[in-house]
Structure 1
Amino acid sequence: MILTRRAFTAALSLTGLGLLAGLSPLRLITEAMAQSAADVAKPVSLPDMALGPANAPVTITEFASMTCPHCAAFTEKVFPKIKSEYIDSGKIRFVFREFPLDVKAAAGSMLARCIAKDDAGKYFAVVDMLFRQQNEWVLKNTTETLTRIGKQAGLSQQQVEDCLKDQALLDKIAADQKYANEVLKVNSTPTFFLNGEMMKGEQSFEEFDKRIKSLLKS
């Protein structure tokens, strides 16, 4: 599947998000291959949003789309257990990176960045809220609902509008997505990397628990 600029622009007009423009085409690559931890950890266009110490022995990096129901299920059911068991105790660092699969996901990612600015804790809270209210803002009036969420988080109407037409922010999200796709071979969400080892798709806490314990022992 190729998401072309023409298709993206058409989607913008259909979803009422005409303020957004310019997401680079995403060429999906089918083969999945593990990358080195250095490739995954390489600085990208946007600052990483992460919880847990930078020197933790295990780093989990999630690539997610804000419109992905499997990503929402992970955030609701699995992430709290990982946080309680491993992040809060300082054993792992958890990094969240945007990989929008459509225009609405890009808009949700932009809003989360605008609300949180450089506050990782606030960013994760906004992402959690967007996932919990996913059916509302994805299936209904996207712009109206995102504006309401933005206002609930303290943004004004003007700040939400400015956020959703921030071309520089959108370009950075697109550049990071392109790197993830072309270098790390991410082509679906959610995709996780545990110290550079790829895990594709929604996973149970038990699977994460097993892999994390193995890495902590090594």
Structure 2
Amino acid sequence: MTSSLVRQRRVLIVATLAIVLVLAAVIASMLRTQPDAPAATPTQAPTATAPATEQPGAGQPPVVERRDPNDLMAIGAVDAPVVLVEWADMRCPYCALVATQTLPDVIEKYVDTGKVRIEFRDVSFFGEQSTDAAVALRAASEQGRFREFLETVFAAAPDKGHADLPRTRLVELAGTAGVPDLARFESDLAREDLHAAVAASTTTAQQLGVSSVPFFVVNGTAFAGAQPLETFTQVLDEALAAAGA
């Protein structure tokens, strides 16, 4: 083989390796930014720029709990020692997994005993149907069926992929959840103020650095993804101990 052919082969090998490395980097970046990918262990809550009402001070994690007694999308005592804040998209498969397999035990052990309050934050990460589903949750909440509608939607979610939630399906699920006035509910799906509230909630989440769902914060400790019950127990027990409860 001539020296010219050897040089050409070496150049070809180097070019091929460079292309492979670039593709690997692009794929890795895409995987890191998937909004509903499972996440890992608890860490400090994000400190990204947030609205002034949620910034306690420079270098400090934003205070995301509200403890608003009029919050329609919260369960548990408003004066519970610890607040667990959850961000979720109604079409997120991992959100459904946590809601159906983990949170019922958390609610029984911590919320029903008055130790923890859960505050829900809706986000729309997966398109128009996610927005409509979040609006539907707010509409159901106004009729006193927040928890029932949330649990009904997640219980009906597919094992894989994002749930298909056209408006006709949302009305059907509202009936299953016991929303008393379905005509009002269906009308509320077009309310501009509810759509604006969902958009504002999504923007605030992004400003706080929430880029994947489900996402949780407890006393400045953040964790995301379909975490097992042990993760919730560890974080909540530590927060309760810190609160002297």
The TM-score bracket by the shorter chain reads 0.7 to 0.9
Q: Which residue of 1 aligns with 2:89?
A: 65
Checking the alignment, whether the CA contact within 8 Å between 2:88 and 2:122 is kept in structure 1 is yes
Q: Which residue of 2 aligns with 1:3?
A: none
- TM-superposed CA distance for 1:43, in Å, is 8.4
Q: CA RMSD in A?
A: 2.6
Q: Which residue of 2 aligns with 1:105?
A: 130
Checking the alignment, whether the CA contact within 8 Å between 1:33 and 1:198 is kept in structure 2 is yes
Q: Over residues 152-180 of structure 1, what are the superposed CA-to-partner deviations in whole Å (9 max), with x where a residue is unaligned?
A: 43333x43442221111100111121111
Which stretch shifts more, 67-76 or 145-154? 145-154
Task: Note closer, same or farther for the CA distance 1:129–1:48 as it changes in structure 2 (3 Å cut).
Answer: same
Checking the alignment, whether the CA contact within 8 Å between 1:65 and 1:100 is kept in structure 2 is yes
Q: Over residues 117-146 of structure 1, what are the superposed CA-to-partner deviations in whole Å (9 max), with x where a residue is unaligned?
A: 063xx201110001112249x655722212
For residues 54 and 141 of structure 1, the distance between their equivalents in structure 2, rounded to whole angstroms, comes to: 32
- Secondary structure of the structure 1 residue equivalent to 2:184: helix
For residues 67 and 147 of structure 2, the distance between their equivalents in structure 1, rounded to whole angstroms, comes to: 19
User: Are 1:154 and 2:177 counterparts?
Assistant: no
User: Are 1:186 and 2:210 counterparts?
Assistant: yes
Aligned residues: 182
For residues 106 and 133 of structure 1, the distance between their equivalents in structure 2, rounded to whole angstroms, comes to: 18
Which amino acid is 1:155 matched to?
D
Taking structure 2 as the reference length, what is the TM-score of the superposition?
0.66
User: Are 1:129 and 2:129 counterparts?
Assistant: no
Checking the alignment, whether the CA contact within 8 Å between 1:60 and 1:192 is kept in structure 2 is yes
Which amino acid is 1:34 matched to?
P
- TM-superposed CA distance for 1:42, in Å, is 5.0
Task: Note closer, same or farther for the CA distance 1:92–1:118 as it changes in structure 2 (3 Å cut).
Answer: farther
Checking the alignment, whether the CA contact within 8 Å between 2:96 and 2:155 is kept in structure 1 is yes
Q: Which residue of 2 aligns with 1:175?
A: 200
For residues 200 and 87 of structure 2, the distance between their equivalents in structure 1, rounded to whole angstroms, comes to: 14
Gaps of 5+ in 2: 1-34, 36-43, 48-59
- TM-superposed CA distance for 1:38, in Å, is 5.3
For residues 148 and 39 of structure 1, the distance between their equivalents in structure 2, rounded to whole angstroms, comes to: 37
What pairs up with 1:1-218 in 2 under 5 angstroms? 33-35=45-47, 39-41=63-65, 47=71, 49-101=73-125, 102-117=127-142, 119=144, 122-135=145-158, 140=164, 142-152=166-176, 153-156=179-182, 158-182=183-207, 184-218=208-242
Q: Over residues 56-106 of structure 1, what are the superposed CA-to-partner deviations in whole Å (9 max), with x where a residue is unaligned?
A: 221100000000000000000000100111100011111111012121121
Greater C-alpha radius of gyration? 2
For residues 165 and 222 of structure 2, the distance between their equivalents in structure 1, rounded to whole angstroms, comes to: 35
Which stretch shifts more, 139-148 or 172-181? 139-148
The percent identity for this pair of structures is: 24
- Secondary structure of the structure 2 residue equivalent to 1:39: coil
